[in-house]
Chain A
Amino acid sequence: MQRPDVLVIGSGGGGAVIAKELGELGLNVLMLEAGPWYGNKKWPNPNSEKGGVYSRSPDDLDVSLFKESYNKLENNMNDLIAGKLRWGPANREHPPWERSFQQRGFVWQIAGVGGTTQHYLANSPRAFPSAIDRKWPLTYRELIPFYEKVEDELPVEFAPTTSKEELFYFGAKKAGWNLLNTLNVVSPGFRPQPNAILPPNANLLNPAYSEKQLSWMEGCTLAGHCINGCPHGPSVSKIAKRSTNVSYVPLALKTGNVEIRPNTFSYQVITEKHPKEGLRAIGVKVRNTWTGERDELFADCIVVAAGAVETPRLWLNSSLPYNPWIGRGLVNHNMDMVTGVFSGKKLVPILGSNVINPFVGHTSGARLDFPGLGSIQVNGVSPGLMASFAYAFSQSGTKKSHASPIHNSHGKGRVTGEELIGLMADYQKSSSILIVTDDEVDRKNRVSILPSQLDENGAIPSIHYAPTRITQIRKRKLVKIAADILLQAGARNVVHSNWPNGLMIHIMSTMRMGYVVDQNSESYQVGRLYIADNSILTNGLGGANPTLTTQALAVRTAGKIYKRYF
């Protein structure tokens, strides 16, 4: 490739979108990705051989290779240390990349083309308008056309109902909540998840087609593997769950103007002082994760989309100018989990079956939104993940009495031994609800670097987070709402996990718009340096999942870049 017009760092939820948009505008884009690329002929063995250097053609995409890699086994896919979907180099014999934690918890992020959208649940709600207006430098109304464009292109559709959604709706109605028939949430209520997942295959109920045949056709098969990595569809670009590696990346390649280099870690932004423009970004220093070779790449504009942990790290490791908000204001939706266990008899009149089978359907297909508090979301994952998040992760310690079950009470904390065995024996009759809190921004919560702790890519990020008092109150209220819905639906036991506060799944607001970047997502202090990931969100969107808003902003930013510099 000749010298690109724009370098994009990161190919996840935001980077892939902006690369495609810029490519469509006719600009030459080079997108750099630290992790592997699954489903591309240039990397037939992405975890064991270094393979090619770059890919720029949709013909390189290969759905058979893709399905071979995404084999739906949760230990192989989701293990944070050596799994395929982890934050680390492509070579799984090497350890993951390190982060330093100042409180209990961990970061659940993924390196690789598609970034963390590879395992995301594709939940794509818009922000709550009340979280944007008068709090962001933009209005909600200004965002709507960009929301609509992304919803159309992904596409976003309301989730189909399967058993766990049916049970949730039943409980929510009984608890007195109303159905919200909208994408613009201004009052509390429940609704199906707006998900970036293709509608179910029209022949899903047609017995003439086997499930295997259906999995090679277009449309969701309700196989329940969203979180393990969805491999179902006739081609890479028609995979049912719309992670960016199967949606925006194929579209970007189709423009003919976008080249993507996986296995390339960007560790420093190169700047110069320009007589007219002042300090401006002109390039990036990169390191190949297989060979360790280093290189310098140059372009007219740099877009950083490395995620809300790595983007501030990159700024700090590049010694860019001081700004009191770099890495500051971190929010994570202070998540938690509440799980209900049901008796078969109670389920029959509601579902026509004595099991829920939480592993069926969209991993999360229903939600309740409450502007001012946050949201709660149905969650049905494979059993290893379910056991480890619902019953083995808590800041309340381990329950002492192994043998006594918790009848209709809010048992809190980890369970072990016979009680765990008993709860997991009822896995098919269980349903979990994820708590997603409207997390208040606090400047003390941050991503910084520790100059004394280095890895091959420079000083490692250090993460500091403690929820504010208001965030904790909101979370408690959401936990009560979730437990009530489960009990109203007839749950026999309700277990509240009480997760440590430092669990980082929705990581946002570390390079906030209005503080670090302007309303066009360009850095206030370094010209030609843009950001297109969750870090620029001015706040936690009121408790809406962040990806769609980041994608809408990426579309908007692409237009601003083109207009200003090309």
Chain B
Amino acid sequence: MTPSSKSLKWPYTTQINFMAIVDTLIPSSVVIFKSGWRFQCGGVELSIWEYLLMSFDNLPTPLSNEVSQLLDLSALYIHKGHYHSPFSIYNPHICKGIFATLSRKDRLTAITHLENLKVPLHILPIPYKNNPTLLQITIDSLYQLTVFGYYSEWYGYGCTRYHCPSCRHLCTYPVGWAYTGYPGPSFGYRDFRGFLLNMSNLKSE
């Protein structure tokens, strides 16, 4: 998927790195049933990478570019391991977007290395420099936000996703619902199977 013109507020390398995270955690896939198969869109097709970018930039300190740098830094170490790469010092200008060039498996390893603090903490960008807790909370958020965005109604906001949160509205069917069998918001269900206990029976207690 190509970034749309509305996404231009983020540097291109930050965008491709966020696409790459989402593609690692929820890739597009073919789901096989007894009766056949269907194609299931991944997080990239459902614009979840934009949800991630917006979320990180709506924090008290916007962090999308810093998170992208973290991913590049971890990716650099994987590159070095694979190719005995000549890079010995992390240079944020040369390495931008390198995370997105890794295979899915290596991307997951790069994310896991960050989570397990297997990168030198003193060379991380501020505010992550020597802050392992914030680093781990950020990795936790990457997972949780990606999955929450994907299975929630986010995709249904269509182009209104770029509006302020109060101005978004559903303009298309949130495809993620079809992948779980969730019928969407409901007025009620008639699956009432009686009561196991009643408060009135306990009054004499």
> Roughly how many angstroms separate A160 CA and B199 CA in the complex, as a whole number?
12
Interface residues of B in 23-53 (CB under 8 A from A): 24-27, 29, 31, 40
Cβ contact within 8 Å between B25 and A357: no
Cβ of B108 to closest chain A Cβ, rounded Å: 7
Of B3-11, B66-74, B85-93, B145-153, the segment with at least 4 beta carbons within 8 Å of chain A is B145-153
Q: Residues of A contacting B190 with CB < 8 Å? A: 204-205, 211, 222
Q: Are B165 and A232 in contact (CB under 8 A)?
A: no
Docked Cα-Cα span, A389 to B26, in Å, equals 16
Q: Mark A107-129, 1 if CB is under 8 A from B, else 0.
A: 00000000000000000000000
CA distance A82 to B165 in the complex (A): 7
Chain A residues within 8 Å of B172, by CB: none
**Contact between A215 and B152, CB atoms less than 8 A apart:** no
B186 adjacent to A158 (CB under 8 Å)? no
Nearest B residue to A398 via CB reads B112
Residue A328 at the B interface, CB < 8 A?
no
- B140 → chain A closest CB, angstroms: 6
* CA gap between A393 and B147 in the complex, in Å: 10
Q: A397 near B116 (CB under 8 angstroms)?
A: yes
Closest to A460 in B: B60
Interface string of B131-174 (1 = CB under 8 A from A): 00110110010011111111111100000000011111010000
B187 within 8 A of A: yes
Chain B 175-205, CB-CB to A under 8 Å as 1, else 0, gives: 0110111110111111111111111011001
Q: How many residues of A contact B (CB 8 A)?
A: 91
The reply to whether B154 and A156 contact each other, CB–CB distance below 8 Å, is no
Contact, CB under 8 Å: A163 / B193: yes
- A residues near B179, Cβ cutoff 8 Å: 421, 424-425
Assess whether B188 is in contact with A205, with CB atoms less than 8 Å apart: no
Q: Please tell me which stretch of A71-79, A272-280, A483-491 contacts chain B, meaning at least 4 of its Cβ atoms lie within 8 angstroms of it.
A: A71-79
Binds B, one of A90-98, A370-378, A525-533, A546-554: A90-98
B58 sits at the interface (CB 8 A): yes
Do B165 and A93 touch (CB < 8 A)?
Answer: yes
Chain B, interface residues (CB within 8 Å), range: 35 or more
Q: Whole-angstrom distance from the CB of A159 to the nearest CB of chain B? A: 8
Q: How far is the CB of B189 from chain A (nearest CB, A)?
A: 5
Q: Shortest beta-carbon distance, A461 to chain B, in Å?
A: 13
Q: How far is the CA of A385 from the CA of B151 in the complex (A)?
A: 8
Q: Check A75–B196 contact: CB distance below 8 A.
A: no
B21, chain A: closest CB distance, angstroms: 11
- Checking B108, B146, B165 against A47 with a beta-carbon cut-off of 8 angstroms, the contacting residue is B165
Q: Are B152 and A211 in contact (CB under 8 A)?
A: no
Say whether B60 contacts A221, CB under 8 Å.
no
CA distance A83 to B145 in the complex (A): 13
Tell me which residues across on chain A come within 8 A of B31, comparing CB atoms.
421-422, 425
A102 pairs with B133, CB closer than 8 A: yes
- Interface 1/0 per residue, A178-196 and B, CB below 8 Å: 0101111000000110100
Q: How far is the CB of B116 from chain A (nearest CB, A)?
A: 7
What residues of A have a CB within 8 angstroms of the CB of B136 in the complex?
A: 104
* Cα–Cα, bound, A221→B148 (Å): 26
With A181-B197, A204-B190, A223-B189: A75-B59 Cβ-Cβ less than 8 Å: no
Query: Can you list 15 A-B contacts with CB-CB less than 8 angstroms, sorted by A residue number?
Result: A48-B166, A72-B186, A76-B168, A79-B148, A82-B58, A161-B192, A161-B196, A165-B196, A192-B196, A223-B186, A225-B186, A392-B143, A397-B112, A398-B143, A417-B25
In the A-B complex, list the 10 residue pairs whose CB atoms are closest, starting with the nearest. A221-B188, A384-B152, A72-B185, A427-B180, A75-B152, A211-B187, A215-B187, A388-B148, A392-B147, A92-B165
Residues on A lying within 8 angstroms of B by beta carbon are 45, 47-48, 71-76, 79, 81-83, 92-93, 95-98, 101-106, 151, 156-158, 160-163, 165-166, 169, 179, 181-184, 191-192, 194, 200-201, 204-205, 210-212, 214-215, 221-225, 228, 232, 355, 357, 359-361, 382-389, 391-393, 397-398, 414, 416-418, 420-422, 424-425, 427-428, 455, 500
